[in-house]
Structure formats: C-alpha cells, structure tokens
Amino acid sequence: MNIQDLCCLHQSPQFSLILEDEVTIGHQVTLHSCTVKKGALVGMGSIILDGAEIGEGAFIGAGSLVPPGKKIPPNMLALGSPAKVVRELNDEDRADMNRIVREYAEKGQYYKGLQK
C-alpha cells in the first residue's frame, strides 16, 4: 500500500473506509468512506466519496471526483468531475501502475533503512 503526502482518509458512521492490498493513493487525495480494491491507483488530488467503489486494478485520473455510490469497474480508466469510465486499461497502463507501486515500495524500504 502506498499513501502519499497530504492525503485525507475519513470514515463516516454510515460507510467504512476500505483499502485493499497494493493500492496507490496519490498526493493530496481525499478518501471519504469508500472502497479501493486491490491494485487500484487513485491519481493525485482526486476525491472519492461515500459508498463509492474503485474496482480492482482501476485507475482514477488526477483531479477526478468519484461521487457517492459510484462504482468504477475493475481494470478501467476513469476521469473527470464527475468521474466517467473512458476505457479499459491496456497492458502498458498496467505495467506503468505496477512500476509506480514497485518504485514507491523501494523508496520506502530505502528510507526505512536510513533511520537505523
């Protein structure tokens, strides 16, 4: 899991906030009582609201707003405000997402080692 700087993670009484394994949450993202499934990437500055679900391996473009209750299917690219699915992710997209996850995990381990 990779949660970058200036993010706000919040839970309301009505909905849980669920982040599954291998997610990337970009800089200054707001997650409000939503679900982000395994391997999904939420681009910087995005806002995901109550009851929304980001499907496994989905990509939410920077600055997008996913409204309450909206479901983004697995392996899809969604953009805009409100976010709309624009296309299925291809192999190149998935490779980029995997690279991002790997690079941030490696950076975390590097900086963790400096603190010893």
Please tell me the least confidently modeled range out of 24-28, 85-89, 110-114.
Answer: 110-114
Please state the domain extents for the chain. Answer: 2-114
Q: What is the pLDDT of residue 1?
A: 87
Which class is 2-114 in CATH?
Answer: mainly beta
Question: SS3 for the chain, per residue?
Answer: CEECCCCEEECCCCCCCEECCCCEECCCCEEECCEECCCCEECCCCEECCCCEECCCCEECCCCEECCCCEECCCEEEEECCEEEEEECCHHHHHHHHHHHHHHHHHHHHHHHHCC
Please compute the mean of the pLDDT values over residues 83-106 and round it to a whole number.
Answer: 92
**Per residue in 21-69, pLDDT tens?**
999 999 999 999 999 999 999 999 999 999 999 999 999 999 999 999 9
Res 20 pLDDT > 70: yes
Q: What is the pLDDT of residue 116?
A: 65
Q: How confident is the model at residue 100 (pLDDT cuts 50, 70, 90)?
A: confident
